[in-house]
Amino acid sequence: MAEKKIAIYRFMSAGCNGCDVQIFECLVPRYKLGDLGVEIVFTPEEANVLAVTGSINVKGAEELKMAYKKLKPPKIVVAVGNCATTKGIFSEGYPIVGPPDRIVPVNLYIPGCPPRPQAIVSAIAKALGVSLDKKEDYWGTPEGFRGKHEFDAEKCIGCGACAQVCSSDAIEIIDEDDKRLVKINYARCTFCGFCQDECPTQAIRLTKEYHLSTDNKKTAYVMNEVEMLRCRICGSYYVPSEQIRWAVERIMEKAAVYRDLRKELEDAMQICPECRRKIVNVENAKKLLTSLAIKTRVS
Amino acid sequence: MPRIVRIGPYKPQLLEPERFELLVEDNKIIDVNIELGYVHRGIEDLFTKRTYMQNLALAERICGICSGVHTLCYAQTAEGIMNVEIPDRARYLRCIYMELERLHSHYLWFGVLAHTLHEHEVFLKVMTERERIQDLLEYLTGNRINYLINTIGGVRRDITPKKAKRILEVLKDMKNLSNYLLMLLDSDEAFVEKTREVGVLPRGIALDVGAVGPTLRGSGVKSDIRRDDPYAAYEELDFEVVTEDEGDALARTRVRARETLESIRIIEQALENLPEGEISVKPREPLEKEEIGRAEAPRGELIYYIRSNGTNIPERVKVRTPSFANNFALTEMLRGDIVQNARLIIESIDPCFACTDRITIIDVNTGRKRGLELM
């Protein structure tokens, strides 16, 4: 039994209630929330911890402020789920004024969409400094679980397909001169797995890691860095070098007849689109590109 | 002199926020006003800013309990827009996943009801057993809720013989749980006494106000989209549309408990007759047209409307969720009953405000609000 008595009051505004159900499920004896001395109460006056879910809309904001005011000390606020952490998929929603940390001070974030009950309980235990039973049948995740992302730095070509298909704009492509950063904000992610499905080189994998709680949400990301290629003519960085290498390989695979023109193709592709338009004298490359274009159109 | 009793938005142990203003005279509810908006997120607007595929994740997050059926209904409607026919195996798999969802939704609701009635033992039993379904869904789809299993053109994950075996194992236990719940509803005084003749919704009124799902079936109307307008593989599967005639909270409870047994039957049949083949086909280019899709969510009829302009971003998506339709029935149920029963009655329609809260209009600039007035 933990010594401190924790009384959690649940507050939701502008969420899907998935996280609420997860908190509700924590009451099941299996999750041992009671062992930590934690109970869920139904008025803010009885509570000392506020578990906020949802991205908070204009109507909920006032209520949230009121609930926070009524809270007993030490007034701990826990943001449960990705909506409560970063507004998640609802970021562009017109009535959304959250995330909650813009309205009340938040002490702990538990990312996930929704976080597993185990993640919620373990985050609370961590905050209390209590260790929990570590049996596999309790903490284990099944094969194919969609958790935190992992990059295979060897495979990633920095093409940005993941950012294109992302259902909640959680993936950012940041170009910084000689390097491109592919940044996955898993605190904004819906864990739909579209990025994993669409990655042409299988460089993104959703792992079984789900204990994502943090007190600094700015650290809730995984990032990969790829090298950028300099244009041979103007010298500007315009595309990741791995992407060009990958594209050349694919062309060779698809159109093996042009294998002996590989060198020319590589040269031509190392010129940025702007410069390419200006050149007239790279004869071989031009010929190659035109014939490739014709071939694709025919097939 | 009538007084106003306010329930909510955050005060009672409702799972979700919503404000009820009850006009009460001599302990009797004479009128009700429901104020929504605490869960409003502007989803229909967001739908028109993303591609058809990305919208799957958004549709799912309309509601965290019946998330699967939202993707199913959305995908069905989008398949109409793209003129895509899904493979037979996918049709059967969809039935299996959706009935599993109905099971966990109905059991959760029973847990909430037991919680409301202070039946702590029952609550713990139902919720503990229900965890097996949640584990199963996580094992099959990769997430406990928001599984994103339906996609435009089919489903995303297959059910292998090994997985099928595990499903059947879990269902065996669920059958026992459902029978236990039915036994409670037949003989347990606490349950029967507290729910009988509470929140009565007569058949005629239920039809008039357009109730849907178990709320309507609890008033003796045989209505179920799975039978009336079959989708997925429901036409080829044998199941009974469960109805009860009394129209009170007990009848609605019985309908849901009996439905879980039907769901188990559907899954067993679907697993037995699962056709071989692909589980999905590639979506095509959207055509310039409009389309309506319907599905039977755990709470009743769910409707999606999509208008396409031929681009890969829909021009308009409109969602009619079951809880919205049932809110009108709720007003009728509350009217005339005693105020102590109010919370139980609200629970008895299994309301899902996350679903419903897309109808309050809030002007962010002026702060002017226009809610759903049910006075």
CB contact (8 A) between residue B62 and residue A16:
yes
What confidence score (pLDDT) does residue A15 get?
86
Rounded to a whole number of angstroms, the distance between the first and last alpha carbons of chain A is 70
Candidates A167, A168, A196, A197, partner chain B, best to mutate (most B CBs within 10 A): A167
Give A29-77 pLDDT, tens digit per residue: 888 887 788 888 888 888 999 999 999 988 889 889 999 999 988 899 9
In the beta sheet, which residues pair with residue A77?
A50
Cβ contact B145–A18 (<8 Å): yes
**Phi and psi torsions of B166, nearest 5°:** -65, -40
Residues of A with Cβ-Cβ distance to B157 under 8 angstroms: 144
Which of A112-126, B82-96, B154-168 has the weakest average pLDDT?
Answer: A112-126
pLDDT attached to residue B359:
41
> Of the spans A29-38, A124-133, A202-211, B321-330, which averages the highest pLDDT?
A202-211
Residue A237: strand pairing partners: A230
d(CA B13, CA B159): 38
B185 Cβ contact list (under 8 Å, min separation 6): B191, B192, B250, B253, B254, B257
Testing the interface with B: which of A26, A59, A66, A208 to mutate, by most B Cβ within 10 A?
Answer: A59
- CB of B258 closer than 8 Å to CB of B172: no
Contact state of B364 with A58 under an 8 Å Cβ cutoff: yes
Closest approach of chain A CAs to the CA of B65, in angstroms?
6
Average pLDDT in chain B: 87
Q: What is the largest CA-CA distance in chain A?
A: 80
* Nearest residue of chain B to residue A20 (CA atoms): B15
Taking the domain A149-227, which CATH number applies? 3.30.70.3270
C-alpha torsion angle, residues B342, B345, B350, B354 (rounded to 10): -30
Domains delineated in chain B = 43-325 (1.10.645.10)
* pLDDT given at position B16: 63
Residues ≥6 apart with Cβ < 8 Å to B328: B209, B210, B211, B374
Chain B: residue whose CA lies nearest to A44: B11
Overall average pLDDT of the B333-355 stretch: 81
Terminal C-alpha separation, chain B = 18
How many beta-carbon pairs under 8 angstroms link A with B?
Answer: 171
Q: Which residue from A minimizes the CA distance to B44?
A: A93
CB atoms A63 and B38 under 8 Å: yes
Residues whose CB is less than 8 angstroms from the CB of residue A260 and which lie 6 or more positions away in sequence, other chains included? none
Q: What gap in Å lies between CA B197 and CA B207, rounded to an integer?
A: 19
Give the pLDDT band of residue B255 (cuts 50, 70, 90).
very high
Contacts of B146 in chain A (CB under 8 A): 16, 18, 113-114, 190-191
Q: Measured between beta carbons, which residues in chain A are less than 8 angstroms from residue B111?
A: 24
Could you tell me how many helices (H) and strands (E) chain A has, helices first? 11, 11
Q: Do B144 and A95 touch (CB under 8 A)?
A: no
pLDDT of B354 reads: 59
Mean pLDDT across B56-70: 90
Is residue B373 very low, low, confident or very high in pLDDT (cuts 50, 70, 90)?
very low
Nearest-angstrom CA–CA distance, B130 and B148:
20
Lowest mean per-residue pLDDT among B282-286, B302-306, B331-335: B331-335
Q: CA-CA distance, B346 to B328, in Å (whole number)?
A: 11
User: Model confidence over B110-153: pLDDT tens digits?
Assistant: 988 888 888 889 999 999 999 999 999 999 999 998 999 999 99
Architecture of A6-139 per CATH? 3-Layer(aba) Sandwich (3.40)
Q: What is the pLDDT of residue B25?
A: 84
Q: How many Å apart are CA B226 and CA B229, to the nearest integer? A: 6
pLDDT at B257 over 70: yes
CA separation, residue A236 to residues A270, A274, B193 (Å)? 11, 10, 78
B61: nearest CA in chain A?
Answer: A16
CA gap B67, A117 in Å, rounded? 18
Quote the pLDDT of residue A41: 85
B354 at interface of A, judged by CB pairs closer than 8 A: yes
Q: Considering only CB atoms, which chain B residues are within 8 Å of A170?
A: none
B362 and A58 in contact by Cβ < 8 A?
yes
B306 in contact with chain A, both atoms CB, cutoff 8 A:
no
What's the gap in Å between the CA of B157 and the closest CA on chain A? 10
SS3 (DSSP) at A29? helix
Q: Residue type at A282?
A: V
Cα distance between residue B228 and residue B69, in whole Å: 17
State residue A242's pLDDT score.
Answer: 92
pLDDT digits (tens, 9 = 90+) for B146-204: 999 999 999 999 999 999 999 999 999 999 999 999 999 998 888 888 888 899 999 99
Q: Which of A43, A55, A146 sits opposite B41 (nearest CB)?
A: A55
Please tell me the predicted confidence (pLDDT) of residue A284.
66
CB contacts of A55 in chain B (<8 Å) are 41
Residue A34 is predicted with a pLDDT of 78
E strands, chain B, are 3-7, 19-25, 28-35, 150-151, 154-155, 290-297, 300-307, 316-320, 361-362, 369-370
Distance from CA of A299 to the nearest CA of B (A): 19
- Best of B19, B45, B47, B54 to disrupt the A interface by mutation (most A CBs within 10 Å)? B54
Q: Are B148 and B71 in contact (CB under 8 A)?
A: yes
pLDDT attached to residue B344: 85
Mean pLDDT within B262-283: 95
Taking CA atoms, what residue in A is nearest to B158? A144
Mean pLDDT of the region A255-272: 83
Residue B355 pLDDT level (bands cut at 50, 70, 90): low
Q: How far A241 CA lies from chain B's nearest CA (Å)?
A: 29
What is the pLDDT at residue B73?
95
Task: Provide the Cα torsion B266, B268, B273, B275; round to 10°.
Answer: 90
A186 with A209: CB under 8 angstroms? no
pLDDT band of B10, cuts 50, 70, 90 = low
Q: Give the confidence band of B364 by pLDDT, cuts at 50, 70, 90.
A: very low
**Rounded Cα–Cα distance for residues B297 and B324 (Å):** 13
Distance from CA of B238 to the nearest CA of A (A): 31
- pLDDT of residue A2 exceeding 60, the answer is no
Which of these, B62, B52, B354, B311, lies nearest to A167 by C-alpha position? Answer: B52
| The pLDDT value given to residue A152 | 93
* Bridge partners (DSSP) listed for residue B223: none
User: What is the structure's pLDDT at A1?
Assistant: 40
pLDDT at B23 over 80: yes
CA-to-CA separations, B45 to A9, A122, B36, B313, in angstroms, rounded: 31, 36, 18, 12
CA A299 to chain centre: 38
A137-144 mean pLDDT? 83
Q: What's the confidence (pLDDT) of residue A285?
A: 67
**Per-residue pLDDT at A136:** 63
pLDDT for A195-242, tens place per residue?
999 999 999 999 999 999 999 989 999 999 999 999 888 889 999 999
* B residues 99-138 closer than 8 Å to A (CB): 108, 111-112, 124, 127-128, 131, 134-135, 138
Name every chain A residue with its beta carbon within 8 A of the beta carbon of B64. 15-21, 114
CA distances from residue B338 to B11, B23, B203 in whole angstroms, order as listed: 19, 11, 21
The DSSP bridge partners found for residue B317 are B306
- The pLDDT value recorded for residue B39 is 83
Which residue out of B143, B360, B361 would a mutagenesis test of the A interface target, given it has the greatest number of A Cβ atoms within 10 Å?
B143
In the block, residue with structure tokens 């059958």: B175
Provide ipTM, 2 decimals. 0.87
H/E stretch holding A23:
helix A18-25
- CB within 8 Å of B187: residues ≥ 6 apart: none
pLDDT of A299 over the 60 cut = no
pLDDT above 60 (res B370): no
Interstrand relation of A38-41 and A204-206 (parallel, antiparallel or unpaired): unpaired
Q: Are B39 and A141 within 8 A, CB to CB?
A: no
The whole-angstrom separation of Cα B145 and Cα B298 is 14
The predicted structure's pLDDT at residue A188: 93
What's the pLDDT at B106? 94
CB contact under 8 A, B54 and A57: no
- Please compute the mean of the pLDDT values over residues B250-272 and round it to a whole number: 95
Number of H helices, E strands in chain B: 14, 10
pLDDT > 80? residue B374 = no
Q: Is B15 on the interface with A (CB under 8 A)?
A: yes
Domain residue spans in chain A? Answer: 6-139, 149-227, 231-298
Categorize the per-residue pLDDT at A124 as very low, low, confident or very high, splitting at 50, 70 and 90: confident
Contacts of B58 in chain A (CB under 8 A): 89, 167
Tokens read off for A295: 């071939």
Residue from B182, B176, B181 nearest B123 by CA: B181
Counting Cα atoms < 13 Å in the Cβ hemisphere of A154 gives 0
Kindly determine whether residue B41 and residue A11, on different chains, have CB atoms separated by under 8 Å. Answer: no
Q: Which of A16, A29, A145 sits opposite B64 (nearest CB)?
A: A16
